Amino acid sequence: MANKAELYEAAVRNGFFLPKFKSSIITEDYMNMVISGQILCPKYIDIRLKPCPIPPDKDTLIKMC
How far apart are the C-alpha atoms of 15 and 27, rounded to whole Å?
18
pLDDT in tens, 4-45: 999 999 999 999 999 999 999 999 999 999 999 999 999 999
Full-prediction pTM beyond 0.75?
A: no
- Domain spans, the chain: 4-48
Radius of gyration of the chain (CA): 15
